[in-house]
């Protein structure tokens, strides 16, 4: 019997429509439990799906700074989050808990 070859799963390859991107972000917001880097990583996944260079142009941020901010290794400034969300064409909503 031969070896099984596996590949790393990349959610960005499966986020094709704005609706899928918004649903993914909403699910991540529900699961985050206050973990800001987790949300930043989710936004990074969506940005990669849309094209990081395009998101960088639309947000006015450099591609390199976006990769760092949305890596999930740190909490980016809220200003950065707002620029990215707008560039992605996603709206954030608030509701009572």
pLDDT in tens, 9-57: 999 999 999 999 999 999 999 999 989 999 999 999 999 999 999 999 9
pTM of the model: 0.87
User: What are 28's two structure tokens?
Assistant: 């991540």
Please classify residue 26 by burial: count the beta carbons closer than 10 Å to its beta carbon, then call 0-12 exposed, 13-18 middle and 19+ buried. Answer: middle
Say if CB 11 and CB 44 are below 8 A apart.
no
Domain ranges of the chain: 17-88
DSSP-based three-state secondary structure for 1: coil
Residue 75 phi/psi, 5° resolution? -100, 110
């Amino acid at each position: 019997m031969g070896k099984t070859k596996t590949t790393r799963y990349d959610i960005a390859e499966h986020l094709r429509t704005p609706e899928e991107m918004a649903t993914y972000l909403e699910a991540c917001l529900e699961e985050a439990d206050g973990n800001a880097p987790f949300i930043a990583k989710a936004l990074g996944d969506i940005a990669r799906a849309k094209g990081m260079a395009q998101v960088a142009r639309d947000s006015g941020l450099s591609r390199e700074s976006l990769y760092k901010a949305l890596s999930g290794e740190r909490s980016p400034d809220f200003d950065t989050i707002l620029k990215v969300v707008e560039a992605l064409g996603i709206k954030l909503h608030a509701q009572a808990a």
